[in-house]
Structures are given as C-alpha cells and as structure tokens.
Structure 1
Amino acid sequence: MTTTLITGANKGLGRETARRLLEAGHDVWIGARDPDAGAAAARDLGARHVALDVTSQASVDAAAATLAAAGGLDVLVNNAGIADGMGVPFPRTDLAAMSRILETNVVGPARVTIAVWDLLQASPAPVVVNVSSSLASLTLATDPARQEHGYLPMAYPASKAALNMLTVKLAQELPRARVTAVNPGFTATDLNDHAGHLTVEEGAEPIVRAALLGPGDPTGTFMEAAGPLPW
C-alpha cells in the first residue's frame, strides 16, 4: 500500500486531499501543527495522525521517526502554508511577517523533505507534491494581461516562487521521484478568509492528480487543473 504524508492536513485543501487519497487506497498520515485538530481529522477520515509543525526541527524529526517506525513513506504532499499580511502592498511589507511566511512556506517543506529523504529514497516509486500558486510564476507576473501581474504584495508570491525552485532542485536530486509544484487555484480556505471562487474539492483536484503520478510520468513540473504552467 502507498503511504502518504500530507502536511497541514487537518483542514482545507490538505484535508480534502487526504480524503481523496484515502479513497484511492493510500495509507494517509494527517500531519498537523495542532495535535487535537489533526487527531480529530484523522479520526473523521479514517487516516492516521502525526503531530507535525513544519517550523520546528524537533517536531519534524519526531514525525519522520514515527513514519520510519511505521514502515516508511512513498508520497509527501507539502501543503502546510501561511499568508500573513497577504494583501499588503510591497512598500508596507511587514518583514517580520515575511520571515514567518518564508520559514513556513519554503524552509518548512525543505525541512520536511530532508527529514524523510531516506524514506523517499527507499520507496519504489517516490512522489513529492509542493502546493504552490500561480502567483509564483515569473512569466505570469510579468504579463500585463494576467491577473497575477496586478497582484502587488510581495511576501506570499516570493515564498511560492522559492518553493518552485525547491521543486526543480529536488527533481534533479531525486530523478526516480515524481516531483511537482501544483497551483490549486484561488480556493476558498482559511488562507484567504474563504474569498476564493473555487471549492476545496476543485482546488484539491490537481494536488491529488500529482500525488497519483507514477514512474514514467513527468517530473520537475509546475501545473494546475488545466495543465502545465510557465515558471
């Protein structure tokens, strides 16, 4: 059975991804910073739970040890993310908030991936999915015809652009794996105070699709539900 870890999976896109992958036959671990919320989500879905704060090395190491003791890991979905001060224009950027965003959205996925590196190496078909955003695309951000061009705040797009580079480098480092950066689209979640126009079911679709990739499928790509995105 394919074993999958999803970070930030007690709600929103992470929870819906967990539900869908459980339906697909995966053995899913709900990673959550709030242990009570994570345990409740796992109980409701029929998944397993592991306490996991991506900003804490001790927490990540403990989670990796739990996975190793339980038999390993095949699929990692780096979903946990924050967007403090998401709507603040560039000149008013709160640099402390930006540091928190980068720590969670970039260093966090790197920390988790490194911690489970040996487990992914041992898997016959490793998969890593990094939940990104179309706001990360430099091509789209510099196209006046695109809405990404008109989005002026800096911190969140910068964090996701860095996550995209992490995706590329990981694909190069672990060519046996299927590694994908995924744009779920503007989904109604706590991240945007439920302002998004997509449902979590719609937003989770490309994440689930990437998690189900296998040997022979593309790797080191950036995609959304409609297909590939430009870096």
Structure 2
Amino acid sequence: MGDSFGFVDDNKPNRLWRAIFKDEAWLQTAIDYGAEPVLIGAHLDEIVAQTGRKQPVYIVLRTNDFSGDTFHDGLEPLRQSLRKRHYYNKRSHEVILPKISWRNGANEKITIPKIILNVRDIVSGAETLVLPGKKIRELFEQTAFTSKYSFFQYRKIQTLESRDIFGIGGTVSGLGALTPICGFNLHTASQKWQVLFAEPNCRNLTPYYEGKKGVPHTILGWRG
C-alpha cells in the first residue's frame, strides 16, 4: 500500500503521472527550466483504468527541454521523484516500475500494471531520441496504428494519429514506416511540440520543413 498513496482519490487525470512519480519535485524543476514533460505510449489509458493489464506498459518520457538543464542535472534527481522500489537498467536506460495491487475503501481491487519507462532523453540530452526500431514500434497499438501522450501540465491523455506522424517521404500510416527515422507532433492547448526518434546507426537523411525557406519550423519528413 505504501506505493499507492497517490491513487486514493478519484482524480483520473492525475492517475497516470502518480503511477510513475511519488512527488512532483523533478517535474516542477523541469517546468521551471522551461521544459514541457510528456509521456508517450500506446497504453496510457490502461494505467488510468487501474484494471490490471497483464502485459507491461512501455512509455517514453520526453522533457522537451531546450535549455539542456535537466540533462545537466543528471538522472538522480529524476529517480528521487519516481515511485519507490523501481529498478534502473543502465544498458537500455529504462526504469522498471513493478506491478502493484491493493484494495480501496470499497474493497475493490486496484492494480497498476508493470511500467517500463524509457528515460534516455534525460541521460543523453540529444534532440533526437535513438531507440531500436522494435522499441519505437512498441509505442503504438499494433492494429490501429495510434499512440497516446499526456503532458504533465495538461494531464489529458490525447491520441497520436497518423496525420501527426512523419517519416521518410512525409506522413506515415504503418508501423514499418516509423523506421529508420520519424517525428511526432504533440499538441497542448496553445503549442505544438515535435519529438524525433531514430534507429541506431541511422544514415544521414535530409529533413524538409514547414514554413519559409531557410527558417526551419516543423519537420514534415525526410528525403532518402
């Protein structure tokens, strides 16, 4: 029960982040730096449902920190804010948060599935997050080709659809087109953030942009 203190209320928008963080210290520091932390993964809503998904939920944490301050602070401040009894895999830069279950006041069983949280962004500080193709594809529903994301400051879980996913040649509509490189457009109420992923040893590809020539704004795709 010690890990479940954040779930005793029925505030569903908070449940996702409380399933991962025991406090908001690191998140608030990141925001003070001008960052916009976001979670990306296909099954975020199943964490909120608390019904006990059997398979682990794979999530990427992106800071959207252009200052680089969260990278310079290192991983330890983040780990201090994460839920207790987690394990960090240095090789894959993934934090393993074990499955937990308890019964609420109505004697209903509440279960948070095992969560695998990729924190490579904080470790590397690179603009493009380098992941094996299998891990990039794991962020998506295997049949519907959609993913989910949630910004800490907005909490709402939103759907990432193909019109906001870019790869070689422009928008993509299938798992195979996510590699060797891709970008996602993620939206808050007032801003669009673009996050980039690439496989290891991805060859140099030329991006093309939305907006005026010579004034890069949003990547619309890559030329092979």
Asked if these proteins are the same fold (TM beyond 0.5), I'd say no
Find the structure with the greater CA-based Rg.
2
Higher strand share: 2
Higher helix share: 1
TM-score by length of 1: 0.28
TM-score by length of 2: 0.29
